[in-house]
């Protein structure tokens, strides 16, 4: 399947005869700043993990364009289900640096109440469901949520119709849940965008060991799903494809669309991975030099006279300062109240849980030197279920 491109690697229009991309200068600058912000935060937080300041991290290097570009073509009310390498979505939807840091440092301001590993963001405010580690489980959720959208679009015809967007890597697409989700989305006509980030590797496994068909895109056809392959390093192409796919998904009462965005995982899989154990450093350096969504958009902006070296320097130093300020603030924050250990398992605590919380309190009181509760909001007093 051919790959759709708007810009070439030099940031020039691939098709000189086509119109200029339909995007305002203001929006281009926003997309660019969001990508750069994610990439700088990634560098700082990767190092923070290396210094033991946070327990884990995963960068988006090389894939910032897929997340930011596609998010920019969605309605902010469209629910999103993500895998974990889509930090740019949260950035575009409005996550502040403080929001990111609260989750990464698991502070009292983390909406996930310090229960999830770093990078497992989630936000009711921005309509992004909380990320979970099991791969591909979110794909059938997206089909079901899209069916809910279809019913709600029908029940509230005066409101803007909504679609669901679902992100996953090419490795996750080998899970049974991928098959289940695409098939049910097709048979039930669900308005959902399945967005696959094909970055060439699932941890150490190259795509040659992941599948033998024509990538993920070729599978869409078999499910009866309209499918497109796009250059994931070309944010303007990702943006355009997502916009068209969204319109298509809402046609005739709803249908799924599959987008395969081709890219390259420039970074290690995570902070627990050294990717040079299974791929040559020269291959990575080559990709970094040759192509990257940030430099490609920058070249295009420079060609239009929107950007220059001075602005670049200023943006980078400015973002770096802001990120470090948020970092230092979060580092000093208290952890959430100890109630977070057992609350929210059920809507109301069970009798068994109430008994267990009292038992834990007794143990902590009996052996105070074994448990440091001072770093938790409210100390031992926080170990209680909320009073209704």
Partner 1 sequence: MAHALRSDDRVLLFGEDVAFGGVFRCSMNLASEFGEARVFNTPLSEQGIVGFAIGAAVEGMRPIAEIQFADYVFPAFDQIVNEAAKIRYRAGSNAGMDCGGMVIRMPAGGVGHGALYHSQSPESLFTHVPGMRVVIPRSPAQAKGLLLASIESPDPVIFMEPKILYRAAVEHVPSEAYTLPLSKAEILKEGKDVTIISYGTPLYTCQSAITAAEKDLKCSIELIDLRTIYPWDRETISKSVNKTGRAIVVHESMVNAGVGAEVAATIQDKCFLRLEAPVQRVAGWSTHPGLGYERFNIPDVTRIYDSIKSVLDY
Among 62, 88, 118, 140, binds partner 1 (CB under 8 A): 140
Measured in residues, the chain has a length of 388
Among 16, 20, 24, 134, binds partner 1 (CB under 8 A): 134
Nearest to 172 by CA among 257, 241, 81, 278: 81
Among 142, 257, 284, 337, binds partner 1 (CB under 8 A): 142
Regarding 256 and contact with partner 1 (CB under 8 A), the answer is no
275 CB-near residues (< 8 Å, 6+ apart): 201, 204, 265, 267, 268, 269, 284
Q: Of the listed pieces 14-22, 44-52, 56-64, 148-156, which binds partner 1 according to CB under 8 A? A: 148-156
Q: 137 or 295: whose CB is closer to partner 1?
A: 137
Regarding 151 and contact with partner 1 (CB under 8 A), the answer is yes
Bridge partners of 195? 167, 259
- 55-78 in b/e form (b: 16+ CB < 10 A) is eebbbbbbbbbbbbbbbbbbeeeb
Contact indicator for 120, 112 with CB cutoff of 8 Å: yes
Instruction: Write out the binding residues for partner 1, residues 345-364 only, by CB under 8 A.
Output: 345-348, 350-352
Q: Of the listed pieces 15-23, 38-46, 110-118, 212-220, which binds partner 1 according to CB under 8 A? A: 110-118
Distance CA 310, CA 297 (A): 16
Regarding 344 and contact with partner 1 (CB under 8 A), the answer is yes
Q: 61 or 341: whose CB is closer to partner 1?
A: 341
Among 34, 63, 99, 110, binds partner 1 (CB under 8 A): 110
Contact indicator for 42, 274 with CB cutoff of 8 Å: no
Instruction: Write out the binding residues for partner 1, residues 62-91 only, by CB under 8 A.
Output: 79, 81
Regarding 315 and contact with partner 1 (CB under 8 A), the answer is no
Neighbouring C-beta atoms of residue 2, cutoff 10 Å: 7
Minimum distance, C-beta of residue 33 to partner 1, in the bound complex (Å): 26
Regarding 118 and contact with partner 1 (CB under 8 A), the answer is no
Distance CA 94, CA 83 (A): 18
In this structure, the strands spanning 205-206 and 226-231 are unpaired
Q: Please state the three-class secondary structure of 349-375 as a single string.
A: CCHHHHHHHHHHHHHHHHCHHHCCCCC
Bridge partners of 192? 164
Q: 113 or 288: whose CB is closer to partner 1?
A: 113
Q: Of the listed pieces 63-71, 123-131, 279-287, 376-384, which binds partner 1 according to CB under 8 A? A: 123-131
Give burial (CB, 10 Å; 0-12/13-18/19+) of 101: buried
Q: 58 or 235: whose CB is closer to partner 1?
A: 58
Minimum distance, C-beta of residue 225 to partner 1, in the bound complex (Å): 14
Please give the structure tokens belonging to residue 338. 């100890």
Instruction: Write out the binding residues for partner 1, residues 181-210 only, by CB under 8 A.
Output: 181, 183-184, 187-188
Distance CA 190, CA 33 (A): 33
Q: 179 or 244: whose CB is closer to partner 1?
A: 179
Contact indicator for 380, 338 with CB cutoff of 8 Å: yes
Regarding 252 and contact with partner 1 (CB under 8 A), the answer is no
Q: 152 or 204: whose CB is closer to partner 1?
A: 152
The binding site for partner 1 (CB under 8 A) comprises 79, 81, 110-113, 115-116, 120, 122-125, 129-130, 132, 134, 137, 139-149, 151-152, 154-155, 164, 176-177, 179-181, 183-184, 187-188, 340, 344-348, 350-352
């Amino acid at each position: 399947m051919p790959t759709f491109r708007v810009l070439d690697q030099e940031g020039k229009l691939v098709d000189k005869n086509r119109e200029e991309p339909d995007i305002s200068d203001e929006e281009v600058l926003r997309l660019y700043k969001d990508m750069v912000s994610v990439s700088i935060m990634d560098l700082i937080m990767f190092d923070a993990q290396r210094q033991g300041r946070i327990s884990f991290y995963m960068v988006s290097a090389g894939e910032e364009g897929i997340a930011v570009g596609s998010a920019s073509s969605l309605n902010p009310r469209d629910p999103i289900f993500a895998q974990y390498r889509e930090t740019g979505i949260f950035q575009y939807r409005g996550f502040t640096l403080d929001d990111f840091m609260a989750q990464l440092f698991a502070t009292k301001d983390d909406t996930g109440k310090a229960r999830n590993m770093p990078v497992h963001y989630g936000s009711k405010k921005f309509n992004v469901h909380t990320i979970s580690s099991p791969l591909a489980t979110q794909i059938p959720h997206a089909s079901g949520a899209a069916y809910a959208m279809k019913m709600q679009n029908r029940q509230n015809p005066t409101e803007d119709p909504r679609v669901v967007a679902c992100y996953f890597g090419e490795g996750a697409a080998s899970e049974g849940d991928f098959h289940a989700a695409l098939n049910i989305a097709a048979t039930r006509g669900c308005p959902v965008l399945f967005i696959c980030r094909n970055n060439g590797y699932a941890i150490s496994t190259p795509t040659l060991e992941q599948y033998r068909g024509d990538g993920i895109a070729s599978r869409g056809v078999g499910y009866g799903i309209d499918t497109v392959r796009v250059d994931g390093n070309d944010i303007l192409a990702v943006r355009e494809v997502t916009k068209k796919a969204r319109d298509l998904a809402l046609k005739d009462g709803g249908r799924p669309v599959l987008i395969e965005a081709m890219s390259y995982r420039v970074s290690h899989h995570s902070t627990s991975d050294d990717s040079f154990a299974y791929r040559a450093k020269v291959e990575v350096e080559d990709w970094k030099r040759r192509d990257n969504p940030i430099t490609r958009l920058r070249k295009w902006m420079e060609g239009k006279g929107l950007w220059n070296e001075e602005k670049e320097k200023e943006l980078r130093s400015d973002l770096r300062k802001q990120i470090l300020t948020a970092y230092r603030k979060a580092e000093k924050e208290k952890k959430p109240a100890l109630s977070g250990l057992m609350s929210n398992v059920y809507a109301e605590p069970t009798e068994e849980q109430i008994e267990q919380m009292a038992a834990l309190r007794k143990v902590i009181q009996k052996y105070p030197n074994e448990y440091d509760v001072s770093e938790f909001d409210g100390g031992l007093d926080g170990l209680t279920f909320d009073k209704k």
